Each structure stands twice: as C-alpha cells, then as structure tokens.
Amino acid sequence: MKRVVVAPGDGIGPEVIPPALDVLRFFHPDWEYIPVYLGYECWKRTGDALSAKTLDVLKKADLILFGAITTPPDPKYHSVVLRIRKELDLYANLRPVFGNGFDILIVRENTEGLYSGIEWQEKDRACTLRVVSEAGSRRIARFASACAKKRRRHLTIGNKANVMKSDAYFLEICMDEAEKAGISIDKKYIDSLVLDVLQHPSRYDVIVTTNIFGDILSDAAAYLEGGLGMLPSANIGKSQALFEPVHGSAPDIAGKGVANPIAAIRCVSLLLKYNGEKPLATEIERAIQKTITDGIKTPDLGGTASTEEVGRAVLQNLVNVKKETVDQ
Ligand code: NAI
Ligand code: MG
C-alpha cells in the first residue's frame, strides 16, 4: 500500500494527469491517492502557490505524480517545482530518452547549480548565484555512476569546465566517483554535446550534468522522440520520488483536449520501475507503442486523436495484454 499524492497543476497538467492516473489505478486500485491543488492558478485564487499544508502532504507522500506548473516571469512569484525539489531534497532528475537504436539516460543535478534560487536584484543588474557544492555534486555523480554500472558502464559528463570554475569542480568530482565505481568516462562540453546527442544518439548511454544544462539537454533530446509530449522524468530523493513530464503547462494548447498524454503515462512507467515493478513498466511501454502504431496520435505526433482518445487506447491495450496473459 502506497500513499500517492497527485498534483495536476496548471494548463495541460489537469488534462494529461487523469489518463496517467487511470493507468496507475489499473495496476494498483488499492493504493491511497491524495489529490492536491497547487500552482499558478492556485496562487491567483488563494495568493499562495504552495501552501504549508500542501507541502506537508507532499512531504508525507511515498510517491508523487505531478502534471505541470505555469511559472510567470513575475519577480514576486517563486517556481513551485523548484521549491518542491528543494524542500523534498529530490536531488536526482532522471530523464530517459529511447528509440530506434538508442537508449540514453540523462541524470541532471536537481537542487543547485544555476537553479539554486539564490538571486537578488541590484540597482543596475540582477544576479543569480550558480552553486556547485561538493556534497551536491558527489551524490549526483554517485547516483549516475551507479546507473552506469547497471548499463553500459560508461558515463558522459556534460560540462563547461573550460569557462566556469564551478564546472571544473563538478567535473573533477564526477571523474573521481566514476573511477571509484570502476566505469569509464568521457567529458564533453555541453554546447557541442547537445548537438552530438541529436546527431549520434546511439553513442550515448548515461549522461550526468548540472541543473540548467540537464534541463536544456533533455528538452533538446525530446526531438529524438517526436517532441516534448513524449518524455517523462523522475525526481528522486532519499526516500521519496516525484514523477512529472519533461514538458511544461503548454498554455498555447491548454483547454483544447489535444495535449499528448504519453509523457505523463510514461511517468507512471518510471514510478512503477522505481517501485520495483519493471515488468509493469514494460507492459505500459508496449501499450503505448501499440497505440502509436495503430495511428492513435495527438496532433503533435501528426495525428488527430484527442488526449482522452490516446489515454483510452493505451488503457484498452493494457486490458487486452492482461486478458491474453490470463487466456494463455
Ligand atoms: P512547454 O513545455 O509548456 O511547451 C513548449 C511547446 O511544446 C508548446 O508549443 C507546447 O504546446 C508543446 N507541448 C508541450 N507539452 C506538450 C504535450 N503534452 N502535447 C503536445 N504539445 C506539447 O514549455 P513553455 O511553453 O516554455 O512553458 C510554458 C509554461 O510551463 C511556463 O510557464 C513554464 O514556466 C512552465 N514550465 C513548467 C515546467 C514544469 O512544471 N516542470 C517545465 C517547463 C516549463
Ligand atoms: Mg525544461
């Protein structure tokens, strides 16, 4: 029995989370599901984007299924996603990207770097502090090395150590942890790495990098899978994990019922894998692939199906797989 907190959030979040939740409930009807209200709409209505009470509920969750949040560039508004990652100390952000002939795992440091949240405004300039700590770097380097050890035993370290001292520091720590883990490494400057991942995705396995570089790299890598509607992510801490699509609240398509729910459904795959239920994650992936080959696709993938239609098709394919297994 697990306590799952469900936070749909803003924009397309409340559109893509219900089909994802249907899939999770299909496998675990007996788990406890607790909905919470947070985000920009919540801020507009209540003056608080993330109340102390909601934060407390999140802190008591085993697992969190999260949609997306709108973050307006308003200096009075602080990003809810960043706050949750920090408050719950969800230090590892995993973003798998896989397809024909490639299987990449982007491991992004999730609590510091340029998203440290330490910023201030002066008379004629605004400053954001890029914090790269030894503890923060070591734990993400260890995490990435452990992932690499279970895969192709190779780690790519995305960095900009040629320009920034903070990245030279990060790189050194990653190399040290990789050596301890007995895996090989290569170092790549993040700008050329982004291009190379797109041109030669099969060359990569686990990539570790700092917060903002991982954010940019994973959005760009979504190109390999057909766009942002496809990529899930896991935010992992010591004893809790939060799963959210890589995409944001997509205000340009919100309310139209055409958002691609696959990224959100794949979050459920990651959640189940994290919970030690890899075979179920594989079933979901098969159901998604079947839905796509059947041509049931939202407009971002060139189809005409709605969010609900894709969600229903994935669920139906899961039910069919179960039936076949029982019939055999
Ligand atoms: P976005 O990811 O929301 O949208 C970028 C483009 O991709 C848009 O054209 C959108 O229509 C498309 N797209 C995204 N998800 C899609 C899906 N499931 N199906 C079909 N098309 C999809 O990024 P954008 O526009 O930069 O940001 C919008 C808002 O989301 C901002 O307020 C931003 O701060 C927030 N955001 C929140 C994130 C989070 O909650 N973790 C992450 C990224 C952005
Ligand atoms: Mg992003």
Atom of ligand 1 minimally distant from the CA of 79? 34
* Residue-wise pLDDT tens digits, 185-209: 999 999 999 999 999 999 999 999 9
CA of 310 to the centre of ligand 1 (A): 19
* Residue-wise pLDDT tens digits, 148-166: 999 999 999 999 999 999 9
Same domain as 243, residue 216: no
pTM value is 0.93
The last residue of one of the domains, among 230, 254, 273, is 230
Same domain as 283, residue 197: no
Domain with 267 in it: 1-90+237-328
What is the per-residue DSSP string for 141-190?
A: HHHHHHHHHHTTSEEEEEE-TTT-HHHHHHHHHHHHHHHHHT-EEEEEEH
Same domain as 224, residue 109: yes
* Residue-wise pLDDT tens digits, 84-130: 998 999 999 999 999 899 999 999 999 999 999 899 999 999 999 99
Same domain as 241, residue 135: no
Query: Which residues are placed with Cβ below 5 angstroms of ligand 2, an ion?
Result: 215, 219
Same domain as 83, residue 113: no
Residue to probe by mutation, ligand 1, list 42, 84, 247, most atoms within 8 Å of CB: 247
Atom of ligand 1 minimally distant from the CA of 247? 2
At 252, list the tokens: 């340009």
- Percent of the chain scoring above 90 in pLDDT: 91
Q: How far is CA 97 from the centre of its chain?
A: 11
* Residue-wise pLDDT tens digits, 274-309: 999 999 999 999 999 999 999 999 999 999 999 999
CA of 247 to the centre of ligand 2 (A): 6
What is the per-residue DSSP string for 239-304?
A: S-EEEEESS---TTTTTTT----HHHHHHHHHHHHHTT-HHHHHHHHHHHHHHHHTT---GGGT--
Residue owning the nearest CA to atom 43 of ligand 1: 248
Instruction: Count the domains in the chain.
Output: 2
- Residue 113 has φ and ψ, to the nearest 5°, of 60, -145
Choose among 162, 154, 158, 150: nearest CA to 179.
154
Look up the CATH number of the domain holding residue 312. Answer: 3.40.718.10
